Chains A and B, each alone.
Chain A
Amino acid sequence: MKTEILDSVESKSLKKKVPYFEIGDTVDVHCKIQEGNKTRVQVFTGTVIARKGRGMSETFTVRRVVADEGVERIFPLHSPNVLDVRPVRSGKARRAKLYYLRKRSGKGVKLSQRHSEHTVIK
């Protein structure tokens, strides 16, 4: 019953449409950025290497390599600042957490594509 009450509290502020993507996919994350009093949309592109938490606390980690330096950003899935997550390339992953990509460089970071096509938005 406790979790039921918690879920009902969370359900009001959860996103109605959660973008569909899988671990290993390359995604464009559109996030809102405040600069002074101007807001603009920044796109962060990279591979989804982890999804953690449940409900309001769910987050996902996106990794990309910029100039031979790995960059990872953790986004809260239900944050109003994360406007959209668009999968641009599917990636075949055999585990839920792709932390092994951190040790790889160059061609090794690339995951082979899944054969089945995306059902893009649930």
Chain B
Amino acid sequence: MVMLLGKKIGMTRIYDESGKITPVTVIQAGPCTVMQLKTDKSDGYSAIQLGYGDVKRSGVNKPASGHADKAKTSPRKFVREMRLDNSNQTQYKAGDEISVSAFSNVKFVDVSGTSKGKGFSGVMKRHGFGGFPASHGTERKHRAPGSISSYASDAGHGGHPKKGKKMAGRMGGVRVTTKNHRLVSIDEQKSLLIVKGAVAGPSGGYVEIRSSKTEG
């Protein structure tokens, strides 16, 4: 598996020779620095810690600054881990740079980002409920969730809604992974990955890009 951290730039479209349109997302990925190696021995699992995006030294606290010093690099804005098999670890060492060229043999990628926050949303928007008719006597209930429980729903103990009942509430602003984006092209000079389809989060949001476990 290969992984990079990056920033979503935005969406556009590309045409192939037959004029077919492919919607694509442009991601500026890497170069990422290996901040730390985690091993079975010292941490109980093996992984490498990647860092992306510069941040001023005055903007981070001493632990973060010292952590970067250990890898002989500057502090990074966005830091995430990539799990590894034990056998793969020897190819990385702290301070290494990983660029988009690592994806040159990859056809499909998974992308994780933080989705746009939608605030406190009703059930129609949040869970796709159908709501109620616009007319035919419906009053003040057009977007209501309907019945959430009955007296019998907790047999013998009076009624309670079931745990996990889909209701209105905070929506968005959570980690969302979209899988199997076709990797359309790579621009090594500008460190860009162009993937098919939409990726979670706003333009300018930080994302993780991993090669897909399943092909296509």
Contacts and interface: CB of A to CB of B under 8 A. Distances in A.
B192 A2 contact: no
Given A2-B10, A2-B204, A76-B21, A9 B15 contact: no
Nearest to A79: B19
Interface in B181-214: 187, 190, 192, 194, 203-204
Interface residues of A, number: 18
Interface string A14-45: 00000000000000000010100000000000
A14 to B, nearest CB: 10
A79 B15 contact: yes
B28 interface: yes
Contacts, number: 44
Contacts of B10: 2-3, 6
Q: Main secondary structure on chain A at its contact with chain B?
A: helix
Given A5-B26, A5-B28, A9-B187, A56 B192 contact: no
Q: Main secondary structure on chain B at its contact with chain A?
A: strand
Nearest to B18: A34
Contacts of A81: 18-19
Nearest to A7: B12
Contacts of B17: 80
B83 to A, nearest CB: 30
Given A57-B13, A80-B19, 11 more contacts: A2-B204, A5-B190, A5-B192, A13-B15, A34-B18, A56-B12, A56-B13, A56-B14, A79-B15, A79-B21, A80-B15
